[in-house]
């Protein structure tokens, strides 16, 4: 227990004992700091933690107040509303902006609030590296011959086994190993659509999906998306009725950037619609393991009776992004995807495949996942509390059910690109909303990454971005 | 020195002393075996070695004869003539055949005469594996951020340095690291042409080039190609005059399957034509390091003054194919290729990049290359001698100047696919000519791989294929 956690627990128990009641004002940060002889930062962190637990709220210029009523809705920021994109298909050209943003994230030691990556220090890298070394001593892996698509049988078995444990039956023969989920999504898209075709996507949508569309010279059409329930199936159906749509790409669990988990009923509805419309769905499931709830979320794939769902995932968010190992379950498009894999990169390196297979077989993957899930869930609360406290009036935010990003709606006057530049000058990166759409719809939105272990530096960076946003909002 | 080498040296010295003269018949294999009390296999191998040295020739049903005259042309098999493909652009669909062939090569322990791979036992794998382990301990590599395109700066520097040492100036800023040469070729092709476009290729052409064309839904047009001088620039010019050609893909050094090295004058002529026609050339240079001659062969890229040559290569033929590390020098298309790399697979894994960079920096790559060049050159002679001796009359073959494959023209009656099936039943794979063309032009051709260290098993496999070919030729 750190000092601020001890303080938070102490205040929490006083609230629960009735020492402080609903509506009471807590002692100011300065008072508590002096009373208890601890630093101001520690008190702020304790208050933020209590705020994230929903026990207190902050009111600008007034201080912190006890807030015991349940169901009072989100913190300070308002909830987001369903997106209402204009249903026009558009050519896609977001990759240059994304690449330059990712570059600036990589450069030097900017605070990576704009990063799309998970916390690399959470990866079990020493173990994987030892397994890779052992695999590298295996002479049978020195050639390419065992690495031909679909991939190394040991890893394929482990992947199928994990799905089975989670309640989804996967035939190992249906798994194709790829160079990360990026390649899986590319291959699946190419298997179901051709250049010029229109692809339906969520709004906002994860730019990796837009990239695949851009790479193939296809067009994207954005579909209204509820911030907690996901893509609006009726809106999708209306679009499909009005024009040919070759496929739909979605991220039903912990969507980047919205963080929602589609309710099971809506997942089923989407898959049933796809069957009726005979339209393939490409499902990006890379965040599935990072749920905050009590159970592993269902995949669209598990409702699929027609082989129309092409499910893609990877180990890059949970075990290591350095190995570039992903996979596809392409349903009825299996053979095309396997052939395209062969054409695109010939094979996936087998040493990292075997290293991961060893880890899955031998080393408490579940235990590892529980640890990172818990950390990300806590950090989500901290990030929400910080934004709630330090961002200008009129700020809204998502309520992530998993993953490690928060989607923040800033007051309409804020231009996220300008904010991005201002933050960068101060050594902080953020993810501007432009990256998540083919239109201008998210010019006042930003994505904040909270995967890094919480630190004073991150706290200060969030405060700085909040202040800059307030300036831009004027 | 092995026993058969000692015997060969002994007979060679007798020839040089005049004990045997030009046209003399050597003692039969059986006689020599009895005289010297050594096995028949050893004698055959010694005779084959002498044949490969050009000192003796075999005449069917007559035995081995001393052959001291110089310039007597090739061994038994006739030289190949320039290909004369019909200049019709065709959609490409060879990948299924190639993949199933590669699968049969991988299955069990078939003798891999059909393999496209170099000898994996020649790879410095222990060292690379140790470097990979050390790189895996570097925390900065655990995330993705240092792995963004264009690739790891250390490896890029090493690649640029090597070109410089070979006399070609390469700006490190022009290098893009890829998942093997396969991805490099794909990205370069996508950067210069679009679906439906026509791409000029050699005839026969390496199927990896056809795969890239197939993946993008482009069309291939085959251009007449001389078996020792490469693509016929006049024939290419005639095609370009008659129809729009978006790009040309060639392998100027040690082309797979022909093995030629384009003379410098012809390389220059090709690049000058491309400049005049403003047509990009994709150059596949993966075999460049495997020359048998005295010097590193020039690349088309070294004659390029307009940034029109997109040069692709990899470490898969020289250091390890298991790491999947290649690169592109895309000339004026650099930015497009970098963007496409990002879209296609996001990043290339950085641990293997660093392991290779370490090896290049510290461990006598040149020495390693000299060793494999020498081995492949010797094995080329052995393979040519074996085909010359054991294949039916009317067999022709290439004269590889580098690499590790021999292209064999069988009598017209032989159907290479049938031969492939028959050989496979006997546990031997061969590369059927169908894989190297969009047409039926090479139905009586096969590609033989001689990268494996010579063995009695390989010898026996070549003899078996020769006998099967003779049966098919009847």
CA dihedral B133, B134, B137, B141 (to 10 degrees): -90
Encode pLDDT of B189-216 as tens digits: 999 999 999 999 999 999 999 999 999 9
CA dist A59 → A33, A63, B253, B261 (Å): 19, 6, 73, 78
Rounded to a whole number of angstroms, the CA Rg of chain A reads 23
Q: Which CATH number fits domain A124-365: 3.40.50.2000, 3.40.640.10, 3.20.20.70, 3.20.80.10?
A: 3.40.640.10
Q: Which residues 175-204 of B are in CB contact (within 8 Å) with A? A: 179-180, 182-183, 186, 190, 194-195
State which residues of chain A have pLDDT below 70.
17-18, 68-77, 106-108, 142-146
Q: A119, A214, A344, A404: which to substitute to probe chain B, counting the most B Cβ within 10 Å? A: A344
Is residue B76's pLDDT more than 70? no
CA distance B280 to chain A (A): 20
Radius of gyration for the alpha carbons in chain B, expressed in angstroms and rounded = 23
Query: Mind listing the pLDDT tens digit for each residue in B444-464?
Result: 999 999 999 888 889 899 999
Cβ neighbors of B18 (< 8 A, separation 6 or more) are none
Q: A5, A168, A122, A1: which is closest to A367 by C-alpha?
A: A122
Please determine, for residue B72, whether its predicted confidence score (pLDDT) is greater than 80. Answer: no
**Residue A129 backbone dihedrals phi, psi, to 5 degrees:** -65, -40
What's the ipTM?
A: 0.82
Contact B117 A144 (CB under 8 A): yes
| pLDDT per residue as tens digits for the range B392-428 | 999 999 999 999 999 999 999 999 999 999 999 999 9
| Residue A107: predicted pLDDT | 65
Quote the strand ranges of A309-418, DSSP E. Answer: 309-314, 325-329, 396-397, 405-409
SS3 A178: strand
Average confidence (pLDDT) over B306-314: 98
Cα angle, residue B327 at apex, residues B129 and B261 outer, rounded to 5°: 105
* Window 358-397 of A, Cβ < 8 Å to B: none
* Architecture in CATH of B367-473: Alpha-Beta Complex (3.90)
Give CA separation, A337 vs A155, A184, A332, A333, in Å: 18, 8, 10, 6
A262: which DSSP letter? -
When pLDDT is cut at 50, 70 and 90, the band that residue B144 belongs to is: low
Of A117, A324, A347, the CB nearest to B145: A117
Count Cα neighbours of A17 within 13 Å in the Cβ-side half-sphere: 7
- As a whole number of angstroms, the distance between CA B302 and CA A19 comes to 81
Which of residues 59 through 98 in chain A touch B, CB cutoff 8 A? 95-96, 98
Per residue in B5-50, pLDDT (tens digit) is 899 988 887 777 667 777 788 888 888 998 888 998 899 899 988 8
What is the Cα–Cα distance from B65 to B59, expressed in whole angstroms? 8
Which of A244, A240, A243, A260 lies closest to A252 in space, CA to CA? A260
Best to test chain B binding among A324, A340, A350, A452 (most B CBs inside 10 Å):
A324
Distance between CA atoms of residues A376 and A392, nearest Å: 25
Contact A145 B346 (CB under 8 A): no
Supply B16's token pair.
């040089």
* Predicted confidence (pLDDT) at residue B79 exceeds the cutoff of 80: no
Q: Read off the pLDDT band of B439 (50, 70, 90).
A: confident
Q: Is B351 on the interface with A (CB under 8 A)?
A: yes
Which has the higher per-residue pLDDT, B263 or B112?
Answer: B263
Q: Across the interface, do B129 and A123 touch by the CB < 8 Å criterion?
A: no
Distance from the Cα of B202 to chain A's closest Cα (Å) equals 19
Q: Is B349 near chain A, with CB under 8 Å?
A: yes
Min Cα distance A390 → chain B (Å) is 28
Residue whose token pair is 């896609």: A92
B123 touches chain A (CB under 8 A): yes
CA distance B431 to B417: 9
Q: Which residues of B touch A106 (CB under 8 A)?
A: 145-146, 148
Chain B residues closer than 8 Å to A214 by CB = 343
Nearest-CB residue to B117 (from A115, A145, A180):
A145
Residue A38 zone, left/alpha/beta (φ > 0; ψ -120 to 50; rest): beta
- Is B346–A324 a contact, with Cβ atoms under 8 angstroms apart? yes
- Please give the CATH topology (third level) of the domain spanning A3-66: Arc Repressor Mutant, subunit A (1.10.10)
Q: What is the pLDDT of residue A145?
A: 59
pLDDT > 90 in chain B, percent: 63
Tell me whether strands A198-202 and A219-223 are parallel, antiparallel or unpaired.
parallel
Question: Hunting for tokens 């978006």 — which residue is that?
Answer: B246
Instruction: Say yes or no to pLDDT of B108 above 80.
Output: no
Q: Are A408 and A436 in contact (CB under 8 A)?
A: no
A117 touching B, CB under 8 A?
yes
> What is the least distance, in Å, from the CA of A435 to any CA of chain B?
14
* Token pair for A459: 């706290």
A294, A260 contact by CB (below 8 A): no
pLDDT at B349: 93
Tell me which chain A residues have a C-beta less than 8 angstroms from the C-beta of B146: 106
Cβ separation B182–A117 shorter than 8 A: no
Mutate: best of B112, B142, B212, B214, partner A, most A CBs <10 A: B142
For residue B71, pLDDT beyond 60? no
CATH fold of A369-473, please? 3.90.1150
Inter-chain CB proximity B346 and A106 less than 8 Å: no
3-state secondary structure labels for all residues of chain B: CCHHHHHHHHHHHHHHCCCCCCCCECCCHHHHHHHHCCCHHHHHHHHHHHHHCCCEEEECCCEEEECCCCCCCCCCCECCCCCCCCCCCEECCCHHHHHHHHHHHHCCCCEECCCCCCCHHHCCHHHHHHHHHHHHCCHHHCCCHHHCCCCCHHHHHHHHHHHHHCCCCCCHHHCEEEEHHHHHHHHHHHHHCCCCCEEEEECCCCHHHHHHHHHCCCEEEEECEECCCEECHHHHHHHHHHCCCCEEEECCECCCCCCCECCHHHHHHHHHHHHHHCCCEEEECCCCCCECCCCCCCCHHHHCCCCCEEEEEECCCCCCCCCCEEEEECHHHHHHHHHHHHHHHCCCCHHHHHHHHHHHHHCCHHHHHHHHHHHHHHHHHHHHHHHHHHCCCCCEECCCCECCEEEEECCCCCCHHHHHHHHHHCCEECEEHHHHCCCCCCCCEEEEECCCCCCHHHHHHHHHHHHHHHHHHC
Residue A433 CA, chain-centre distance (Å), reads 14
Residue A260 is classified by DSSP as: -
- Beta partners for A25? A65
Q: What is the pLDDT of residue A25?
A: 87
Model confidence at B73, in pLDDT bands (50, 70, 90)?
very low
Mean pLDDT of B375-381: 88
Q: Distance from B81 to chain A by nearest Cα, in Å?
A: 31
- Residue B74: the pLDDT is 38
**Structural domain boundaries of chain B?**
3-66, 124-365, 367-473
Quick one: how far is CA B21 from the chain centroid?
A: 37
At A143 the pLDDT is: 64
CA dist B32 and B11 (Å) reads 11
Q: Which residue has the tokens 């989920």?
A: A181
Q: What is the pLDDT of residue A389?
A: 82
pLDDT of B59 reads 80
| Cα-to-chain-centroid distance, residue A356 | 22
Tell if the CB–CB gap between B320 and A142 is shorter than 8 Å: yes
Burial A344-372 (b: 16+ CB within 10 A, else e): bbbbbbbbbbbbbbbbbeeeebeebbeeb
Contacts of B123 in chain A (CB under 8 A): 142
SS3 A151: coil
**Binding-face residues of A in 286-325 toward B, CB within 8 A:** 316, 320-324
Handedness of CA B274, B278, B282, B285 (dihedral sign): positive
Q: Please tell me the distance from the alpha carbon of residue B304 to that of residue A189, in angstroms, as a whole number.
A: 36
């Amino acid at each position: 227990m750190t000092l601020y956690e001890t303080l938070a627990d102490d205040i929490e128990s006083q609230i629960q004992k009735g020492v402080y009641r609903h509506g009471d004002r807590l002692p100011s940060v300065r008072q508590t700091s002096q009373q208890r002889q601890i630093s101001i930062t520690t008190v702020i962190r304790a208050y933020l933690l209590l705020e994230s637990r929903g026990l207190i709220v902050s009111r600008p210029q007034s201080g912190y107040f006890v807030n015991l009523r349940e169901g009072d809705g989100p913190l300070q920021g308002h909830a987001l509303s369903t997106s209402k994109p204009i249903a026009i298909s558009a050519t896609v050209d977001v990759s240059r902006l994304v690449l330059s943003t990712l570059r600036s994230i990589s450069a030097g030691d900017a605070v990576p609030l704009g990063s799309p990556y998970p916390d690399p220090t959470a990866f079990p890298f020493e173990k994987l590296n030892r397994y890779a070394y052992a695999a590298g001593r295996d002479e049978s892996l020195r050639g390419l011959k065992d690495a031909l698509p679909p991939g190394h049988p040991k890893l394929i078995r482990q992947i199928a086994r994990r799905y089975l444990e989670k309640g989804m039956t996967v035939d190992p023969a249906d798994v194709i190993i790829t160079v990360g989920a990026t390649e899986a999504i590319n291959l699946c898209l190419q298997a179901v659509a051709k250049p010029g075709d229109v692809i339906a996507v969520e709004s906002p949508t994860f730019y990796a999906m837009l990239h695949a569309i851009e790479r193939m010279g296809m067009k994207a059409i954005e579909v209204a998306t509820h911030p907690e329930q996901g893509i609006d199936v009726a809106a999708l159906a209306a679009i499909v009725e009005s024009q040919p749509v070759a496929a739909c790409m979605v991220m039903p669990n912990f969507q980047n950037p919205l963080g929602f988990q589609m309710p099971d009923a809506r997942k089923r509805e989407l898959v049933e619609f796809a069957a009726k419309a005979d339209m393939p769905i490409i499902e990006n499931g890379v965040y599935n393991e990072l749920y905050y709830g009590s159970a592993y979320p269902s995949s669209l794939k598990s409702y699929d009776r027609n082989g129309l769902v092409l499910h893609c995932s990877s180990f890059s968010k949970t075990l290591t992004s350095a190995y570039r190992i992903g996979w596809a379950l392409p349903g009825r498009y299996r053979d095309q995807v396997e052939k395209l894999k062969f054409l695109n990169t010939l094979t996936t390196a087998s040493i990292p495949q075997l290293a991961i297979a060893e880890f899955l077989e031998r080393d408490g993957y579940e235990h590892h996942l529980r640890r990172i899930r818990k950390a990300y869930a806590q950090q989500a609360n901290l990030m929400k509390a910080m934004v709630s406290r330090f961002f200008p009036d009129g700020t809204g935010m998502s309520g992530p059910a998993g993953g490690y990003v928060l989607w923040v709606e800033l007051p309409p006057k804020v231009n996220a690109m300008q904010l991005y530049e201002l933050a960068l000058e101060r050594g902080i990166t953020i993810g501007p909303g432009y990256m998540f759409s083919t239109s201008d719809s998210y010019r006042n939105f930003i994505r904040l990454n909270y995967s890094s272990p919480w630190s004073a530096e991150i706290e200060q960076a969030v405060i700085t971005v909040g202040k800059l946003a307030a300036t831009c909002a004027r």
